[in-house]
A and B are shown apart, each in its own frame.
Chain A
Amino acid sequence: MTLNLSTDNPPRSLLRRLSPVSKVVCCVVFIVCVVALPPSGLPRLLWLAGIVLSLWLSARISLLTLANRVALALPFVLIAAFSIPFLNHGGRQIAMLPGGLVISEAGLMIFQAVVVKAAVCIAALSLLGETTPPEELLAALRQLRFPGLLVTILSLTVRYLLILRDEAQRMMQARDARGPGRGLLRRAKIAGAIVGSLFLRSYERAERVGQAMAARGFDGTLPVVTRNHFAWRDAVVTLLFVAATATLTLW
């Protein structure tokens, strides 16, 4: 599993220089536009996808990374969208399955639109994540008056996700060192035990972190000094981007 939360050596692309506040606004507007497109708007959706792709290339990040990110999230989309073709959407019926299940043309089209839209949105979010260090992203959310509690939770998640991953990896190594166990049921039981103990460990760690925070005067809001620049240049880029995507969507 690759999980890179730091952009330690970012290429100096336009996107890297743009204010994180602009990037967050553009990303949200873009996603709203994508979601708002009707299922029949596939050509316009492909235009929007083209925008992400060209931005991705301009940021000089490997397309393999893009494929990885989308592939990681797509299974969840497929599970969620699995039933869409079978719902009765009217129109021509393509196939009749045993048990009275019917696949309709309209259903298939919606399914296709949902999957492509999800992929495009994931790509846009990944681009935001790839070109913005987590602390700048958090500061941008705070600057945009995102609820403080949510930003605090996100900030702690960013900090502890990697520690949790390491802990899980160590436990899995310990499991493998003692033999992976035979049989699906046995393996599932071991995996369950690992998840369970990971949960308990995190719970206990949360208690200790809470104590450490209280010891330094935590009163419910994270104090933050990081503030992102936001110049007229950023405002112009944001306006242009929002105008372009909105036109493309409504046109």
Chain B
Amino acid sequence: MVKMTAIKVENLSYWYPDSSQALRGVSLEIARGETLGLVGPNGAGKSTLLLHLNGTLRGDGIVEVLGERLTRKNLDQIRRKVGLVFEDPNDQLFMPTVFGDVAFGPLNSGRDEPVVRRLVQETLEAVGMEGYEAHAPHHLSLGQKKRVALATVLVMDCDILALDEPTGGLDPAGREGFIRLISAQPLTKVIATHDMELAWQLCDRVAIIDSGEIVAVGPASDILTDEQLLRTHKLRCPPGLIYSHAPYSERYQ
């Protein structure tokens, strides 16, 4: 059986307004239900590529989501399918209360108030943040903010989850909990990170991006064990591999 393609990027290039080039002819395919890790050093273009997946940024090239080519016309529709979680939850949580933030998307797509209330409650329960509806995002810890940020896109019932540095800044327990939460979502996932252990735990395939170019794509077990390749691009093998040769994901469960 041929796997359906969730996202297809072809020859995508992007220049920042200051005319420095962030993406150089990126081509990438992500299958439905697959988890793809996008690893690379700081400033490699990971976040920029993620911002293209839901049309927030528009570069030269083709982006297809679930078989549909992204154009100005179907932008709103595509944005509903691709849930983008930003690296800094403070960018994502812009309403005065947690409830307002999670309700923002569904209300914008014209859902009725009772439905929205139910959706918000269910989604907050799913991320373990029930009872925080009336809290101000400012008073939450980073881990809690990340959970709420995830809820703001899950509530949209998206097909694809695009996560930018999901574990950045979390303490070990918070990190583990959040990884478990992500892996529990039965969606296609694209995860931009330089947390190599996270890539090892969650990803089926890994793509290395450096200086705006995809330099390698392959199964996680191939890419993340190729120390030479990783070192060339300022990355390292996941620490878990040093202590055990069994895939970390197995020990983790």
**Chain A residues within CB distance 8 Å of chain B:** 5-6, 8, 134-135, 138, 155-156, 158-160, 162-163, 205, 208-209, 211-219, 222-226
Contacts of B83 in A (CB 8 A): 215
Contacts of B117 in A (CB 8 A): 225
Given contacts A208-B88, A209-B91, 11 further A-B contacts (CB under 8 A): A134-B96, A156-B94, A159-B94, A160-B94, A162-B138, A215-B56, A215-B153, A217-B76, A217-B80, A224-B107, A225-B117
Interfacial residues of chain B within 148-181, with CB under 8 A of chain A in the complex:
152-153, 156
| Pick from B80, B86, B100, B137: contact of A212, CB under 8 Å | B86
- Which label, helix, strand, loop or mixed, suits the secondary structure of the B interface? helix
Contact B56 A155 (CB under 8 A): no
Contact B79 A217 (CB under 8 A): yes
Contact A218 B96 (CB under 8 A): no
Among B86, B91, B152, the one with the most A-chain Cβ atoms within 10 Å of its Cβ is B91
15 contacts between A and B (CB under 8 A): A135-B96, A138-B96, A155-B95, A156-B94, A160-B94, A209-B94, A212-B86, A215-B84, A215-B153, A216-B79, A216-B104, A223-B108, A225-B100, A225-B117, A226-B97
Whole-angstrom distance from the CB of B145 to the nearest CB of chain A? 11
Contact A211 B51 (CB under 8 A): yes
By beta carbon, the residue of chain B nearest A227 is: B113
Whole-angstrom distance from the CB of A40 to the nearest CB of chain B? 43
| Pick from A134, A159, A218, A224: contact of B137, CB under 8 Å | A159
- Which label, helix, strand, loop or mixed, suits the secondary structure of the A interface? helix
Contact B56 A219 (CB under 8 A): no
* Given contact pairs A6-B139, A209-B91, A215-B56, A226 touches B104 in the complex (Cβ within 8 A): no
**Chain B residues within CB distance 8 Å of chain A:** 51, 54, 56, 76, 79-80, 83-84, 86, 88, 90-97, 99-100, 103-105, 107-109, 113, 116-117, 136-139, 152-153, 156
Whole-angstrom distance from the CB of B101 to the nearest CB of chain A? 9
Q: How far is the CA of A62 from the CA of B119 in the complex (A)?
A: 41
By beta carbon, the residue of chain A nearest B51 is: A211
| Pick from A138, A162, A208: contact of B91, CB under 8 Å | A208
By beta carbon, the residue of chain B nearest A6 is: B136
Among B51, B94, B107, B152, the one with the most A-chain Cβ atoms within 10 Å of its Cβ is B94
Q: How far is the CA of A118 from the CA of B138 in the complex (A)?
A: 31
Contact A135 B56 (CB under 8 A): no
Whole-angstrom distance from the CB of A166 to the nearest CB of chain B? 9
Whole-angstrom distance from the CB of A65 to the nearest CB of chain B? 20
Q: How far is the CA of A27 from the CA of B107 in the complex (A)?
A: 31
Contacts of B86 in A (CB 8 A): 208, 211-212
Q: How far is the CA of A212 from the CA of B93 in the complex (A)?
A: 8
By beta carbon, the residue of chain A nearest B104 is: A216
Contact A225 B116 (CB under 8 A): yes
Contact B108 A224 (CB under 8 A): no
Contact A163 B138 (CB under 8 A): yes
Whole-angstrom distance from the CB of A55 to the nearest CB of chain B? 25
Whole-angstrom distance from the CB of B201 to the nearest CB of chain A? 26
Whole-angstrom distance from the CB of A8 to the nearest CB of chain B? 8
Contact B97 A217 (CB under 8 A): no
By beta carbon, the residue of chain B nearest A155 is: B96
Among A138, A217, A225, the one with the most B-chain Cβ atoms within 10 Å of its Cβ is A217
Q: How far is the CA of A208 from the CA of B48 in the complex (A)?
A: 12
By beta carbon, the residue of chain B nearest A218 is: B108
Contact B153 A135 (CB under 8 A): no
Q: How far is the CA of A209 from the CA of B94 in the complex (A)?
A: 7
* Given contact pairs A6-B136, A208-B86, A225-B117, A217 touches B94 in the complex (Cβ within 8 A): no
